[in-house]
Amino acid sequence: MSRNSTQWRQKPKLPSTHYADPAIYSDPHLFAEEKEKIFKKVWWLAVHESELPDPGDFRTYRHPGDAELVIVRGEDRRIRTFLNICPHRGNLIVYTPSGNSRNLVCIFHQWAFNGYGECIDIPREKAGYQERLCKNDVSLKEVRTEIGFGGFVWVNLDDNAPPLKEEIGAALDYMLPELQAEPMETLWYYQARLKTNFKLIHDTNSEFYHDYLHIYNRVTGMLKPDTGYFQRRYTAFPGGHASVGSMNVSYESFKASGRGRLGWPKLPPNGWKLVDLFPCITFNLRTSVLRIDTYIPLAPDDVIYEFRVLGLRSDTPEVRRQREKDSAVIWGPFGRNLHEDLLASSGQGIAMANGSEAMYVLQAREEDLTIHDEIGMRHYLAEWSRRMGRSAADPYASERVAARAA
Amino acid sequence: MTQTVTRSEVEEFVYETCARLDEKDLEGFLELCDAGFSYKVTAYAPEIRREMTWLDRGRGEIEEFFKMLPKHNTDQSPLTRHAQVTRVRIDEAGQRAEVNSTLQVFRTRLDGGATELFAVGRYIDIVAVREGRPRLLARHVKLDTRDLGWGTHLPL
């Protein structure tokens, strides 16, 4: 029997940890709060160091905390990050996503800055400012930057945030041997603008029950119970992070997979390791390719989805081609799975848009922490609730209390 | 006497490949492809300053994928390919042609029928003559567009 409006909006008869109010995926006020309490406080994986290999190389990054950043490798080879804004009149300094330049020069009035963020030239400085202002007064704003966990460049807008290692904790430990085996390099960078909430896409990486979405997963894993596919378990780490145990994927059972010939140093043949980091970063190492998903939330229903594929710097052209082929089979804009994943999370974004009659979202599967258990999502939302000071199941409780008091 | 191919036949052939893909006639598309057909999609990413190969398949891999496609969840919105052949280089024997075309791909949403530009780029084709008829030996789709949204399972 179908439900009426009251029944439809009733809270599920489950612990409040096992469902979420759909408003957390669509409310602009909650999104604005996420920006202050989460986006501006956490470490974001911005780029990989291979994307700026030489002194003078730079990369731009649109930070989810509404900051335009430029990441620079200085003459001392150290990577630093600055706000990509000229301290003179607030223009973007760098317009292109990458490049190499001895100095960063603002096109507007040719103010120039070096890789240390120091202002090194102000045209007609003395004529205009006399002794009232000098180059030392107008250096760039530096943003905290750390390199870690396989050469990734992480940034944090909060000068007082704990160090990166403290925030990640032990979540990436079981992938560290593979991440640190050899220097890596970015082979693909794919960016897509999607009309959905960033947490919904990250949810898809946090639960494997959506195996049912993918013919590929059903054939390679679910129909072969002896592969150990269902025996993989989630491990939850402090901070909302979670990992899924390694498995040996029976790719040979699926002749169109193209996988299985090439591996990854330290990873068992046909192995697979996955780590989800709060608030929306996924490390996914599958046989021969490391895939990194990151997100740039722009609005509750608008997100830039970033997708990287990495190989090894030592790869020959032939090996690189094979890694790209392996990746293309299931990932990438023409891959079997990515299209399905993004269709599903975009469909959620449409159906649960702000003002819709969406119901409470269930994350209630309990299967002894194995992969169809939804502990990954529950653990994530526990951290979200802690940081927001709101329950994901009842995000407006404090407003209700305040209204009653008034 | 060996039959050769003319420029106009090559042009018509490229447009026919587009038409069959537009109609989602994947078997019909494969009929236009040589036994040694290869297909790849690349794009240059200024972010990482590299050429990326997003798809790289031989004929057998494509056939296998096409057979499995009905079992996938895929965006059913039709794609319409508009190619404009810009250069045809036919070898002296008239047996092989290198063909460059500009390409625009439009997507028409099933719900409401709005049409939007999905991708722009180029076809770089190798067309071979087999038993007097043109056959696609290789297609390289070189994309300018890099944001393809939720992507597609269909070849462009």
Residue corresponding to tokens 């790209």: A324
Question: Please, which residues 79-118 of chain B have a Cβ atom closer than 8 Å to chain A?
Answer: none
**A188 contacts B45? CB cut-off 8 A:** yes
pLDDT of residue A73: 98
- To test the contact with chain B by mutation, choose from A49, A190, A254, A341 the residue with the greatest count of B C-beta atoms within 10 A, namely A190
> What distance in Å separates residue A353's CA from the closest CA in chain B?
17
Q: What are phi and psi of A271, to 5 degrees?
A: -75, 170
Residue A389 exposure: Cα atoms within 13 Å on the Cβ side = 5
pLDDT of residue A264: 95
pLDDT of residue A222: 56
pLDDT of residue A252: 57
> Contact, A333 vs B151, CB < 8 A?
yes
Q: Which of B41, B71, B149 sits opposite A334 (nearest CB)?
A: B41
Q: How confident is the model at residue A269 (pLDDT cuts 50, 70, 90)?
A: confident
The arithmetic mean of pLDDT across residues A183-201, rounded, is 97
Over 70: is that where the pLDDT of A259 sits? no
Q: Which of B52, B74, B147 sits opposite A339 (nearest CB)?
A: B74
Q: Using a CB–CB cutoff of 8 Å, tell me whether A347 touches chain B.
A: no
Token couple for A402: 């305040």
The arithmetic mean of pLDDT across residues A88-97, rounded, is 98
List the single residue in B with minimal CA-CA distance to A308.
B48
Q: Residue A297, SS3?
A: strand
Q: Please, what is the average pLDDT of chain A?
A: 93
Over 70: is that where the pLDDT of A314 sits? yes
List the single residue in A with minimal CA-CA distance to B149.
A192
The arithmetic mean of pLDDT across residues B1-16, rounded, is 89
pLDDT of residue A249: 62
**A332 contacts B55? CB cut-off 8 A:** yes
Question: Please, which residues 219-258 of chain A have a Cβ atom closer than 8 Å to chain B?
Answer: 255-256, 258
The arithmetic mean of pLDDT across residues A138-142, rounded, is 98
Q: What residue ranges in A214-315 does DSSP mark as E strands?
A: 234-237, 241-244, 272-277, 281-286, 289-299, 302-312
Model ipTM?
A: 0.94
**B71 contacts A342? CB cut-off 8 A:** no
pLDDT tens figures, B9-65? 999 999 999 999 999 999 999 999 999 999 999 999 999 999 999 999 999 999 999
**B151 contacts A338? CB cut-off 8 A:** yes
pLDDT tens figures, A114-132? 999 999 999 999 999 999 9
pLDDT of residue B45: 98
Between the alpha carbon of residue A404 and those of residues A172, B100, B112, the distances in Å are 45, 70, 45
Q: What is the pTM of this model?
A: 0.95
pLDDT of residue A261: 76
CB neighbours of A264 closer than 8 A, spacing ≥ 6? A178, A181, A271, A285, A287, A288, A289, A290
pLDDT of residue A371: 87
pLDDT of residue A254: 52
> What distance in Å separates residue B57's CA from the closest CA in chain A?
8
pLDDT of residue A329: 87
Q: How confident is the model at residue B82 (pLDDT cuts 50, 70, 90)?
A: very high
Over 70: is that where the pLDDT of B77 sits? yes
Q: How confident is the model at residue A406 (pLDDT cuts 50, 70, 90)?
A: confident
Over 90: is that where the pLDDT of A225 sits? no
Over 60: is that where the pLDDT of A180 sits? yes
pLDDT tens figures, A20-61? 999 999 999 999 999 999 999 999 999 999 999 999 999 999
The arithmetic mean of pLDDT across residues A243-249, rounded, is 76
d(CA A297, CA A33): 13
